[in-house]
Amino acid sequence: MPTFSYTAKSLKGETTEAVREAENEKELAKILRQEGFILIKAGPLKKSKFKKEISFPFLGGVSLKEKIMFTRNLQVMVSAGLGLARALNTLASQSQNKRLKNVLLGVREGIIGGKSFSAGIHQYSNVFSDFYYHLVKVGEESGTLEKSLGEITAHLEKEYALRSNIRGALMYPAVIILAMIGILILMLLVVIPKLAETFIQMNIELPFTTKLIMGASLFLAERWYLVILIIFCLVFLIGILLKTKIGNKIIDYLFLQLPIFAPLIKKSNSAYAIRTLATLMDAGLPILQSLNIISDALGNFYFKKSIIEAGQKVKAGKNLSESLEFFANLYSPMVLQMIGVGEQTGQTSNILKKTADFLEEEVTKTTQNLASVIEPIIILLVGGAVGFLAVSIIQPIYQMTGAM
């Protein structure tokens, strides 16, 4: 999607210059009009040499932890009175990530050329989200960039903690399942072939399950390259599926139906959406613009859809709590009631933050107990697999013993 450098005016007559991705100038004008701006002029943004350099996939990405460290260090430098260009040059020289280093040098190049810091980072929207850009822009315009960077850091740290809790909870079952698959492959390649030779020499009628295991063992031993090819094709197809709207819709729906993981997914997405909304509203962004930013940031298709449709209802004059009531299957009654209380008392952002804190604590508790909930299921799966192999191997041995 092309990136445009544009000049626009708000309804109050304030002029703003920034960059943004859009299909064309007409689409850009439509987006800005929805946000309360009138497009004055626009033109394709010329990419710097640093932008071109980071386009190669082998340079890798920028992790959330690296963004936190960069933002925190930049806040310290800005508070110490260091100029942005000099601070970015220092942070770029310290960065071990080549992509982040080139991005920072590209932003610095733009600042030296007369662009604002927010316009510079918006040029790299694949690294800095709309949330990041808008908070920086608000900080620049209000002269409180240091405060905005602090809010961004706090928000990203909360997001990192939330992801770490979920990742940690899923680590145990993932390791057990991978170990089980490894042992199964080892048995199919080492143990089963030796037993198969014995069974063939005895010339006895084998049960169906034994034949099935022997066939799988033979196929794995002789056609191992096909197994690798099949796995590669499956991963490739799933990757393509995840990039399509229909694929995301199907996978997100399936995850929301899982008995154990559905509550965790709902709470984590609700917490992220609510905390982001609170941070953006605290920074002074209108609720409609905040909802647009959140909808772009959310990964789950159904939560994204709920925020988009809620934004349309808010635009039509409804309260946010009333708008989200149509998605009671995603947001708990407590969340909807807390948003409603915030709207009635005029303390929406404060109550949203408290609600997000509560939901994040719930996610932490759920992830801590997840291992104990999943453990019996894993034991049953492992027991079932071992039992199936044992019966399939022992049954022919009993037949051999009876025939002697």
pLDDT digits (tens, 9 = 90+) for 349-394: 889 889 988 988 888 887 777 777 777 888 888 888 888 888 877 7
Q: Which amino acid is at 362?
A: E
pLDDT digits (tens, 9 = 90+) for 357-369: 898 888 888 777 7
Reported as type and span, the H/E element at residue 44 is strand 37-44
Calpha distance 220→5 (Å, rounded): 56
pLDDT digits (tens, 9 = 90+) for 262-307: 888 888 889 888 988 888 888 888 888 888 888 888 888 899 999 9
- Quote the pTM value: 0.66
Q: Which of 16-20, 43-47, 86-90 has the highest mean pLDDT?
A: 86-90
Calpha distance 218→195 (Å, rounded): 12
pLDDT digits (tens, 9 = 90+) for 194-252: 777 777 777 767 778 888 888 888 888 888 888 889 989 998 888 888 778 888 888 88
**Is a pLDDT exceeding 60 seen at residue 49?**
no
pLDDT over 90 percentage in the chain: 7
- Do residues 352 and 342 touch, judged by C-beta distance below 8 A? yes
DSSP state of 189: I
- Do residues 82 and 73 touch, judged by C-beta distance below 8 A? no
